[in-house]
Chain A
Amino acid sequence: MRDVIVIGAGGGGPVVAKELAAKGLDVLLLEAGPRHAKPREEWSTFEEDANNPLTGYFRLGPTDRSKPAWYREWPQNSFVWQLSGVGGTTQHFYGNYPRAYPGVFKGYEGADRNEYDVEHRFPFSYSEMVPYFEWVEALMPVQTAAMGHKEQLFFKGAETMGLPVQTTKTTHKASYRPQENAILQPGGTAGKTTSSDLLVYPKATGCTFCGYCFQGCMRPKGAPRNQYAKRSTDNSYVPMALTAEVWSRGGKPAELIADAYVTRVHTENRHGVLTASGVTWRDNVTGEEHREDARVVVMSGGCTENPRLWFNSGLPNPNGWVGRGYTDHFFDWMIGSFDDYTGNPKGVGSSARLDYPPYGGLENVGLPPALNAFAGTLSDSGIRGQYKNGRGKTGPWDGPAGRVMGPELKELVAGGIDKLMTVLVITDDDVEAQNRVTPSALPADENGPIPKVTFNHRKRTKRTLRNREFMARKAAELLRGAGARKVYRIDWAPLILHVQSSMRMGSSERNSVLDATGETRAVKRLFVADNSALSNGLGGPNPTLTSQALATRTAENIFQTYFGGDPWVRSEAPVISTDPRISVRLGELGL
């Protein structure tokens, strides 16, 4: 009998595991995918090796790459970028840690209070969340992003838009700024040389501007795992969870098992109350099933897998909201073509942003050639110059929206990929019951019936559609301001990378799965701690910080409610995840 079993070692699960391991609880952390314990041996810098969604080391599938990936049903032109493996999608993320906009929380009184997704706010206030934001920001640590040439160019464009620079953690109004990100600032030789001999820890510390965020961060070379520049959970929370005894008095290291696919959450009826009692997982390698009991079970498998596990476990869904209300920031993609060098794709993938509550935001994104090509050809508007698929919007960009492909793409990149600047259009999108995960009617995989992810993207709410158009126009304005010779709008089909709210926390029993503590309404001792627990799409900010802050709050609630402990976030200061005690212990463990 464990104290706590956490299902999923992605962006959220390791937060709960680390926090409760620090308090001395017996924590088992189960990850469906690979461990990736030796990045320097297992990873590379190649897009085909890393990012091929079918065969890459960053895919949704078991460790053994000769076996097929796990198939998921998407009944529309879309791409749901799920990752298995310790670190989850933080393995390929860009480490952006903006706070959610205050307007998405209960009790917000700003002048624009009626302009947000007012039906689906967080069930507590922004000020209640701030200590948890601060805790995660200190722990990662979250810092102001260093600037490279592509950021300089982004700011040049933003400076023409009549907006102020944001110099606070909280976003109060439309503004632009360097990202606050979980990337260690460059130190020593980092960012100043291309010489491999000099880019070795500790001559180089923090971000070396290698440009391989999306292929996984294992730099500077020679650094302990917990001092790699990008603070993905495999470099931050997981090392802390596994070494809790050396940095927390009374801490007990969590146990991590990878390639362990949880297929069932078990429950029992205790005095008329349905209560979680344990889990069954399947070993990807041997196919053997294991069952273990726990006092508390935490689901952290992500927005698509949590609902699947819920359905496959036969858990009750009285209001029908399990899997519903999936938000994705309904992204779009704009490409600017420049005469001069842009710095793309060097440095952190995205170190500049523009926030525009209550519409959404923009950020620059640097991509290497194949991902750049993929991003330019994922569209709901056909192929530019050929067909429009019923859309092909025109506006302050050049020609109709649509795929830039074939001869046009070849010509676009012929000037050099470092003459492009690409901007991600982030929409403040509404929680909608129709966008959801359901059990698929397609054949099951080895872990049971598979999930189906449905997005009715052409029929989203008026506010969502308006916000997307508004931000796309702002992106064009920014690119023109930066000096783009040509601006292309792709009109992305849903590229589901920022995922939120499919097991949402809410104040109303009618449209939420979780109560305000993070516990499921239908099953006691069962919690959800990852992006799926978020109440909404946050207004557009990248979700990881808010998700981890909420998971920290949920860990406190678990500790108080079921283990008789005291809360700690308001009374203690966090140990920083780069702490040398963690490095030393990792070395002893061969990690």
Chain B
Amino acid sequence: MAEPRNLSRRAFLARIGVLGAALGGGGLLARGLLNPASGATNPLLPPAVDLVRPVLAALARDTLNGLTTFALPGPDQYSRTQRATSRTPGALEAGATDFMISALDNFVPFPDALAQPISAALVTGLADSGVSLPGLEVLPAELRSLDQAFTALLQSDEAIPLSFPIAGLLNLMATQVNPAAVNGLHLSPFARLTYAEKARAFELIEKTDSDLVALLDVHFPEPLKASVSGLLKFVGGALIEFATFGAYSEYGVLDRETKTLRKRPVGWTLTGYQPDGPVEGWDDFIGYYQGRQEVRD
């Protein structure tokens, strides 16, 4: 791997948050675990793959914490970081991040045939986005092993949890908005943004002529190429809507087996919805407008 390519790969992995999460300050992997030699001993499945999987999961959760608190701020650290907080319970108390992860990884009927190449595009493409990142020179040298682990994971038959490419997308946009977000508190660049910067990241995703959308399509043959463009436009809106739905829903306290609530949902408390719980009916019948119970031609 030539040095300029290596540097841009490093920049890209930093952008989607993987490098920082795995290796950066507070990173999840001790650097020694990624032994440069290990990748060469078993090119089909580097041992680092097993180490990378939980890194991706943690990164996705952190990124989605940044998203759900964007949808419904509360008294938590993510809300403080975005500088939009609230004293009343928010998305994290409502379990909205679990809602998103469960939905994305288990229930979005998103074909692996697409998740795989999108994830790959996020990891292997898009190296040169033209925004210079601070501190690249101090990023670790184990990049190549990490990269090989990713490549192996993406090329294996293992289904990619959809939360990973979604987190990658948000983090990529986050570093586009604020390059300094590659480092700092939290694992993910997106979670490090202010509220206004998160909004700016969504603005980039929603922009119909987004360069990113075009770039991401690079690795898809037509007619899939156009489909992926459209899909990302949809994803931009859907992430906001579903995160908000989840934050105000009963997800975190609903016992699916018994169809009962373990406690009062955050969304109900915030809105004053049915103070005494579910009902068979309300005493809200006033009468008929102008006393008319029937009309005919």
Q: Tell me the A residues contacting B by CB distance below 8 Å.
A: 44-49, 52, 54-55, 61, 68-71, 73-79, 130, 143-144, 146-149, 151-152, 155, 165-170, 177-178, 180, 185-186, 190-194, 196, 199-200, 204, 208-211, 219-221, 343, 345-347, 352, 368-374, 376-379, 382-383, 386-387, 389, 403, 405-407, 409-410, 413-414, 416-418, 440-443, 445, 452, 493
- Write out the residue numbers on chain B whose beta carbons fall within 8 Å of the beta carbon of A75: 226-227, 229-231, 233-234
**Are B230 and A441 interface neighbours, CB within 8 A?**
no
A-B contact pairs, 9 of them (CB 8 A): A52-B103, A71-B108, A75-B226, A76-B230, A146-B287, A208-B281, A219-B280, A372-B248, A418-B272
Cβ contact of B268, chosen from A220, A369, A386, cutoff 8 A: A369
**Are A169 and B285 interface neighbours, CB within 8 A?**
no
- Write out the residue numbers on chain B whose beta carbons fall within 8 Å of the beta carbon of A45: 278-279
CB distance from B64 to the nearest CB of A (A): 15
**Are A370 and B289 interface neighbours, CB within 8 A?**
no
Cβ contact of A168, chosen from B199, B223, B288, B296, cutoff 8 A: B296
**Are A194 and B297 interface neighbours, CB within 8 A?**
no
Cβ contact of A185, chosen from B223, B261, B293, cutoff 8 A: B293
Q: Does B164 lie at the interface of the complex (its beta carbon under 8 Å from any beta carbon of A)?
A: no
- Write out the residue numbers on chain B whose beta carbons fall within 8 Å of the beta carbon of A76: 230, 233-234
Q: Does B86 lie at the interface of the complex (its beta carbon under 8 Å from any beta carbon of A)?
A: yes
Q: Does B165 lie at the interface of the complex (its beta carbon under 8 Å from any beta carbon of A)?
A: no
**Are A377 and B272 interface neighbours, CB within 8 A?**
no
Cβ contact of A369, chosen from B224, B267, B292, cutoff 8 A: B267
**Are A373 and B109 interface neighbours, CB within 8 A?**
no
In the complex where A77-B233, A165-B290 touch, is A219 in contact with B200 (Cβ < 8 A)? no
- Write out the residue numbers on chain A whose beta carbons fall within 8 Å of the beta carbon of B251: 48, 52
Cα–Cα, bound, A178→B73 (Å):
39
- Choose, from B3-11, B31-39, B183-191, B202-210, the stretch at the interface: B202-210
- Write out the residue numbers on chain B whose beta carbons fall within 8 Å of the beta carbon of A383: 199, 202, 240
Cα–Cα, bound, A155→B288 (Å):
12
In the complex where A78-B234, A445-B109 touch, is A209 in contact with B290 (Cβ < 8 A)? no
- Write out the residue numbers on chain B whose beta carbons fall within 8 Å of the beta carbon of A374: 241-242, 244-245
In the complex where A149-B286, A413-B271, A445-B109 touch, is A378 in contact with B241 (Cβ < 8 A)? yes
**Are B286 and A382 interface neighbours, CB within 8 A?**
no
Cα–Cα, bound, A77→B196 (Å):
21
* Interface residue tally for chain B (C-beta within 8 Å): 78
Q: Does B262 lie at the interface of the complex (its beta carbon under 8 Å from any beta carbon of A)?
A: no
- Choose, from B16-24, B110-118, B168-176, the stretch at the interface: B110-118
- Write out the residue numbers on chain A whose beta carbons fall within 8 Å of the beta carbon of B272: 416-418
Cβ contact of A493, chosen from B237, B287, B292, cutoff 8 A: B237
Q: Across the interface, name the chain B residue whose C-beta is closest to A46.
A: B250
**Are B285 and A148 interface neighbours, CB within 8 A?**
yes
- Write out the residue numbers on chain A whose beta carbons fall within 8 Å of the beta carbon of B109: 54, 61, 68-71, 445
**Are B279 and A196 interface neighbours, CB within 8 A?**
yes
**Are A144 and B293 interface neighbours, CB within 8 A?**
yes
List residues 232-290 of chain B with CB under 8 A from any CB of chain A.
Answer: 233-234, 236-238, 240-242, 244-251, 254, 256, 259, 261, 265, 267-268, 270-273, 278-290
Cβ contact of A403, chosen from B227, B240, B282, B286, cutoff 8 A: B240
Q: Across the interface, name the chain A residue whose C-beta is closest to B110.
A: A71
- Write out the residue numbers on chain B whose beta carbons fall within 8 Å of the beta carbon of A410: 72-73, 86, 88, 90, 270
**Are B227 and A442 interface neighbours, CB within 8 A?**
yes
- Write out the residue numbers on chain B whose beta carbons fall within 8 Å of the beta carbon of A387: 199-200, 202-203
Cβ contact of A220, chosen from B265, B280, B296, cutoff 8 A: B280
Cα–Cα, bound, A343→B256 (Å):
29
CB distance from A509 to the nearest CB of B (A): 30
**Are A369 and B297 interface neighbours, CB within 8 A?**
no
Closest 4 CB pairs of A and B: A75-B230, A191-B285, A208-B281, A386-B199
- Write out the residue numbers on chain A whose beta carbons fall within 8 Å of the beta carbon of B247: 373
**Are A74 and B283 interface neighbours, CB within 8 A?**
no
CB distance from A318 to the nearest CB of B (A): 23
Q: Does B139 lie at the interface of the complex (its beta carbon under 8 Å from any beta carbon of A)?
A: no
In the complex where A199-B280, A410-B86 touch, is A54 in contact with B250 (Cβ < 8 A)? no
**Are B281 and A71 interface neighbours, CB within 8 A?**
no
**Are A191 and B227 interface neighbours, CB within 8 A?**
no
Cβ contact of A442, chosen from B114, B265, B271, B280, cutoff 8 A: B114
Q: Does B70 lie at the interface of the complex (its beta carbon under 8 Å from any beta carbon of A)?
A: yes
**Are A441 and B224 interface neighbours, CB within 8 A?**
yes
- Write out the residue numbers on chain A whose beta carbons fall within 8 Å of the beta carbon of B237: 77-78, 378-379, 493
**Are A373 and B244 interface neighbours, CB within 8 A?**
yes
Cα–Cα, bound, A220→B222 (Å):
54
- Write out the residue numbers on chain B whose beta carbons fall within 8 Å of the beta carbon of A405: 71, 240, 244
Cα–Cα, bound, A191→B237 (Å):
38
In the complex where A71-B111, A386-B199, A417-B272 touch, is A406 in contact with B292 (Cβ < 8 A)? no
In the complex where A373-B244, A382-B203, A405-B244 touch, is A168 in contact with B224 (Cβ < 8 A)? no
- Write out the residue numbers on chain A whose beta carbons fall within 8 Å of the beta carbon of B206: 77, 382, 389
Q: Across the interface, name the chain B residue whose C-beta is closest to A72.
A: B109
In the complex where A191-B285, A374-B241, A387-B199 touch, is A167 in contact with B236 (Cβ < 8 A)? no
CB distance from B190 to the nearest CB of A (A): 15
**Are B294 and A143 interface neighbours, CB within 8 A?**
yes
**Are A191 and B233 interface neighbours, CB within 8 A?**
no
CB distance from B157 to the nearest CB of A (A): 15
- Write out the residue numbers on chain B whose beta carbons fall within 8 Å of the beta carbon of A407: 73, 84, 86, 195
- Write out the residue numbers on chain B whose beta carbons fall within 8 Å of the beta carbon of A44: 259, 278
Q: Does B295 lie at the interface of the complex (its beta carbon under 8 Å from any beta carbon of A)?
A: yes
**Are B241 and A79 interface neighbours, CB within 8 A?**
yes
Other 12 A-B pairs with CB < 8 A, given A48-B251, A152-B289: A48-B250, A49-B254, A147-B285, A167-B295, A168-B295, A209-B282, A209-B283, A369-B268, A371-B245, A376-B244, A406-B195, A441-B224
Q: Across the interface, name the chain B residue whose C-beta is closest to A77.
A: B237
- Write out the residue numbers on chain A whose beta carbons fall within 8 Å of the beta carbon of B249: 46-48, 52, 369-370
Q: Across the interface, name the chain B residue whose C-beta is closest to A215.
A: B278
**Are B267 and A191 interface neighbours, CB within 8 A?**
no
Cβ contact of A190, chosen from B108, B195, B285, cutoff 8 A: B285
Cβ contact of B286, chosen from A54, A147, A169, A493, cutoff 8 A: A147
**Are A389 and B203 interface neighbours, CB within 8 A?**
yes
Cα–Cα, bound, A168→B295 (Å):
5
Cα–Cα, bound, A374→B238 (Å):
10
**Are B73 and A406 interface neighbours, CB within 8 A?**
yes
**Are A49 and B256 interface neighbours, CB within 8 A?**
yes
Cα–Cα, bound, A129→B198 (Å):
53
CB distance from A52 to the nearest CB of B (A): 7
